């Protein structure tokens, strides 16, 4: 007999409460599916156990979550992942297939270690800043025009302050003028300066905040506010995560595929598990005259490695929490 929506709502609230008052929606669904015995196990093949969350349970639990949200019993927040640690924690559960959950829970920590050890990132911070401004130009011209006006006001203050500034202040004021102009005004990026805007603002902020002059303290505050207004830390963090993943995954293909070097790293770090994935083949032994080439032959990696990360990692995730006034 199926569970009624009232009971499912109670299970949802109880699980959120037991998780400290907040949990990702996908994680909650997997926990409740396991608790209610709603995961169908089909078979085990090598390293993977195949199965899925029953569709009828998925429909019911989603209905219970939406109902609780609409009745203001819980808060359902939608946001993107901010870093590799969040990817490891939340992304594995963004599937209804047991084999994909297990694959990601096992291999994503090793992929993270590889990314961090090699300092992999397609874009640096200064490029991320440029990307954010370029996105404003293409999708939010009103906000971009507002940024131009705000920058022009700051620019005038910086130029006026340059005249009497001590050398150490003057150097950073000039660099901020250059970087600000390059980012906000010079759309063709004819100037080549690769220091992040945030680095320069932090530096001049540290210098100016030691001053007793009100105009300098105000400038330091204004620069910080300008940066936080147009360069949201959540955007910077999310794009930074995307930048790291683009170094290990080809996202241009359909479906995406893990790069060969990343597969090799996972094979080295998690050899028994990777060898046990369906479709994996070890290189054949070479004999006779070909023996000298044996060490250069790579395994045929399982196609399941290409399912480790897909574009769903970049889409918004739902997070559930209890309202302060909600009684359990």
Q: Are residues 154 and 61 in the same domain?
A: no
Stronger pLDDT, 216 or 304, i.e. the higher one: 304
In angstroms, the CA 75 to CA 68 distance is 8
pLDDT at site 298: 84
**Which among 256, 231, 232, 228 has a CA at the least distance from the CA of 313?**
256
* Edge-to-edge strands, sheet with 317-322: 22-24, 317-322, 74-79
Q: How far is CA 43 from the centre of its chain?
A: 32
Distances (CA, A) of 33 to 7, 11, 61, 68, 267: 14, 11, 9, 18, 32
Domain boundary among 235, 269, 303: 235
* Residue-wise DSSP of 33-51: HHHTT-EEEEEEETTEEEE
Q: Do 74 and 159 sit in the same domain of this protein? A: no
Average of per-residue pLDDT values in the chain: 91
Q: What is the pLDDT of residue 295?
A: 54
| 162-168 CB contacts, 8 Å cutoff, 24+ apart | 168/207
pLDDT at residue 284, rounded to an integer: 78
Q: Does 218 share its domain with 156?
A: yes
- Choose between 252 and 297: higher pLDDT: 252
Residues above pLDDT 70, as percent of the chain: 94
Boundary of a domain, candidates 216, 235, 254: 235
Q: Is 75 helix (H, G, I), strand (E, B) or coil?
A: strand
Question: For the chain, how many structural domains are there in total?
Answer: 2
Q: Which domain holds residue 100?
A: 5-104+315-322
Shared domain check, 138 and 228: yes
- Does residue 269 fall inside a structural domain? no
Indicate if 230 and 134 belong to the same structural domain: yes
**Domain annotation covers residue 204:** yes
Token output for 225: 């506010």
Q: Percentages helix, strand, coil for the chain, rounded to the nearest 5?
A: 60, 10, 30
In a domain, 266, yes or no: no
pLDDT over 50 (residue 288): yes
8 Å CB contact between 158 and 173: yes
- Which of the pair, 208 or 41, is modelled with greater confidence? 41
Same domain? 229 vs 170: yes
Please report whether residue 211 resides in a domain: yes
Range with the poorest average pLDDT among 106-110, 158-162, 170-174, 283-287: 283-287
Residue 252 lies in a domain: no
Tell me the two tokens of residue 115.
């990314």
What digits encode the pLDDT tens for the residues 88-121?
Answer: 999 999 999 999 999 999 999 999 999 999 999 9
Do 55 and 21 belong to one domain? yes
Confidence of residue 189 (pLDDT cuts 50, 70, 90): confident
Query: Does the residue 200 lie in any domain?
Result: yes
Tell whether 97 and 156 lie within a shared domain: no
Q: How confident is the model at residue 130 (pLDDT cuts 50, 70, 90)?
A: very high
Alpha-carbon radius of gyration of the chain: 26
Asked whether residue 135 falls in the same domain as residue 89, the answer is no
Indicate the residue among 220, 235, 250 that finishes a domain. 235
Nearest of 9, 14, 113, 15 to residue 69 by alpha carbon: 9
Judge whether residue 1 has pLDDT over 50: no
Are residues 191 and 89 part of one domain?
A: no
Q: With contact defined as beta carbons under 8 Å apart, do 304 and 279 qualify?
A: yes
Q: Is residue 100 part of a domain?
A: yes
- Judged against a pLDDT cut of 50, whether residue 220 lies above it is answered with yes
Residue 215 within a domain: yes
Q: Are residues 75 and 146 in the same domain?
A: no
pLDDT band at 4 (very low <50, low <70, confident <90, very high): very low
Residues 136 and 64 in one domain: no
Query: Where does residue 32 fall: left (phi above 0), alpha (psi -120 to 50 degrees), or beta otherwise?
Result: alpha
Residue 2 binned pLDDT confidence (cut-offs 50, 70, 90): very low
Query: Which of 34-43, 205-214, 248-257, 315-324 bottoms out in mean pLDDT, i.e. has the lowest?
Result: 205-214
d(CA 312, CA 25): 14
């Amino acid at each position: 007999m199926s569970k009624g929506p009232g009971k499912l709502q109670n299970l949802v609230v109880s699980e959120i409460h037991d998780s400290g008052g907040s949990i990702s929606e996908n994680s909650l669904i997997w926990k409740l599916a396991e608790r209610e015995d709603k995961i169908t196990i089909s078979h085990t093949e090598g390293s993977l156990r195949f199965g899925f969350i029953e569709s009828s349970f998925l429909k019911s639990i989603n209905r219970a979550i939406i109902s609780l949200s609409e009745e203001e019993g819980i808060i359902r927040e939608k946001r993107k992942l901010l870093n590799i640690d969040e990817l490891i924690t939340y992304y594995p559960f963004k599937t209804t297939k047991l084999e994909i959950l297990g694959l990601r829970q096992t291999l994503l920590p090793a992929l993270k270690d590889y990314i961090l050890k090699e300092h992999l990132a397609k874009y640096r911070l200064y490029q991320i800043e440029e990307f954010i401004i370029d996105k404003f130009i293409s999708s939010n011209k009103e906000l971009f025009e507002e940024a131009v006006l705000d920058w022009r006001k700051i620019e005038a203050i910086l130029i006026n302050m340059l005249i009497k500034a001590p050398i150490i202040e003057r150097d950073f004021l000039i660099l901020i003028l250059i970087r600000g102009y390059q980012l906000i005004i010079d759309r063709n990026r004819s100037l080549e300066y690769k220091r992040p805007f945030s680095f320069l603002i932090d530096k001049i902020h540290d210098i100016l905040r030691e001053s007793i002059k009100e105009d300098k303290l105000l400038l330091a505050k204004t620069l910080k506010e300008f940066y936080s207004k147009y360069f949201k830390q959540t955007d910077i963090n999310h794009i930074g995560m995307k930048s790291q993943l683009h170094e290990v995954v080809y996202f241009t293909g359909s479906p995406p595929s893990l790069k060969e070097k990343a597969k090799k790293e996972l094979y080295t770090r998690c050899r028994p598990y990777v060898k046990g994935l369906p479709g994996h083949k070890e290189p054949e032994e070479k004999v006779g005259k070909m023996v000298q080439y044996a060490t250069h032959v790579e395994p045929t990696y399982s196609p399941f490695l290409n399912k480790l990360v897909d574009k769903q990692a970049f889409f918004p995730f739902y997070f559930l929490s209890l309202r302060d006034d909600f009684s359990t």
